Amino acid sequence: MPIHVALLRGINVSGQKLIKMAELKRMFEAMGLERVQTYIQSGNVLFASAAEEEAQEPLHVRIEREIERVFGFQVPVVVRTIRDLERVIGQCPFPADSLAEGESLYVALLTQPPTEEGIQRLLACSRETDEYRLARDEVYILCRQGLGKSMFSNNFLEKKLKVAATTRNWQTMNKLAALGRALELEASSALPPGI
């Protein structure tokens, strides 16, 4: 079964939409998802899901609906496979390993590719202290003075692109990919010989 990561938008921020990771993990397990593992409090959940389950209804829709049922509020969810995360990491247009002091790198993962109108609205925005690159369904953001001083916040991107998004820092993206690879190895070593 492929390993996925669900990235929840805007939970456990400023006392809003509070979800304990243990409760979130139990919810995923109750949905029949396997090898569930959470990473930090911002809503990152790794799990295995059979391909036939995904064909019935998109995973993000199932997860969003279950979060609303269990926790009582709506949370946009972006779901990517570990291969998707590795692609995002591998195609980073910025030199992630040689950031200057004070610089930080983020990736905003979009729920879907933006329209051409949304792309044009974003392309009309620039700032000397920040750089960004739009790729398929993510935006790479290089903040020269940190995300707190950047105009390219998650809310800003959603407003310009008219697409829900959730943003993670570069370290979190790499950690999630590493955890996903470890889950894949664990799953493959648990298979009976010859399978």
Q: Mark whether 12 and 69 lie in a shared domain.
A: yes
Residue 120 counted as domain residue: yes
Q: Mark whether 74 and 108 lie in a shared domain.
A: no
Q: Mark whether 14 and 80 lie in a shared domain.
A: yes
Residue type, 52: E
Report strand pairing: 104-110 vs 130-135: unpaired
Residue 137 counted as domain residue: yes
**Is the pLDDT reported for residue 192 higher than 90?**
no
**Is the pLDDT reported for residue 36 higher than 60?**
yes
Using pLDDT thresholds of 50, 70 and 90, give the confidence band for residue 193.
low
Using pLDDT thresholds of 50, 70 and 90, give the confidence band for residue 47.
very high
**Is the pLDDT reported for residue 52 higher than 60?**
no
Q: What does pLDDT average to over the chain? A: 91
Q: Mark whether 7 and 81 lie in a shared domain.
A: yes
Using pLDDT thresholds of 50, 70 and 90, give the confidence band for residue 41.
confident
Q: Which residues contact 44 (CB under 8 A, 6 or more apart)?
A: 5, 6, 7, 8, 38, 168, 172, 176
Mapped onto helix, strand or coil, the DSSP state of residue 112 is coil
CA distance 72 to 154: 23
Q: Mark whether 78 and 98 lie in a shared domain.
A: no
pLDDT single digits (tens) 129-148: 899 999 989 999 999 988 88
Average pLDDT, integer, range 1-28: 91
Using pLDDT thresholds of 50, 70 and 90, give the confidence band for residue 191.
low
Average pLDDT, integer, range 93-121: 93
Q: Mark whether 118 and 146 lie in a shared domain.
A: yes
DSSP string, 43-65: TEEEEE--HHHHHHS-HHHHHHH
Q: Mark whether 72 and 7 lie in a shared domain.
A: yes
Q: Supply the range of the domain harboring residue 42.
A: 3-85+175-188
Token digits for 172?
Answer: 């979190």
Q: Mark whether 111 and 160 lie in a shared domain.
A: yes
The confidence score (pLDDT) of residue 147 equals: 80
Specify the number of domains making up the chain: 2
Q: Mark whether 180 and 152 lie in a shared domain.
A: no
Q: Mark whether 101 and 155 lie in a shared domain.
A: yes
Task: Give the CATH number for residue 142.
Answer: 3.30.70
CA distance 96 to 94: 6
Task: Give the CATH number for residue 181.
Answer: 3.30.70.1280
Using pLDDT thresholds of 50, 70 and 90, give the confidence band for residue 13.
confident
pLDDT single digits (tens) 17-31: 889 999 999 999 999
With CA atoms as reference, report the closest residue to 105 among 116, 90, 114, 94: 94
With CA atoms as reference, report the closest residue to 25 among 35, 36, 40, 33: 36
